[in-house]
Amino acid sequence: MNTTVDEIEHLKDILSQLPESAVREVKDFAAYLADRERRRKALVERVLKAEQNPETIRCASQEEFIQAIMSADDVED
């Protein structure tokens, strides 16, 4: 993500106007969004790897296929 200095300063200004409890909520929400993005990237990596080597995954259903991708041990969560 390319966040400009102006955007960061604007966010700092907004945060400085909020009460401490709201700042904690913003922090928690930002951490949640960062975690979701990390998980999304890991899933995309797993799916791309599975697409490159489809013969290594044999499944009877779509659910099994997704579970095989999710349980791949060579990609960190």
Residue type for 19, please? Answer: P
CA 37 – CA 32 distance, rounded (Å): 9
For residues 65 and 59, is the Cβ–Cβ distance under 8 A? yes
The confidence score (pLDDT) of residue 75 equals: 47
pLDDT(65) > 60 = yes
Q: How far apart are CA 10 and CA 17, in angstroms?
A: 11
Element (H, E) at 31: helix 20-52
Q: Note the pLDDT tens digit of each residue in 7-47.
A: 999 999 999 999 999 999 999 999 999 999 999 998 888 88
Q: For residue 68, what pLDDT is reported?
A: 75
What pTM was estimated for this model as a whole? Answer: 0.63
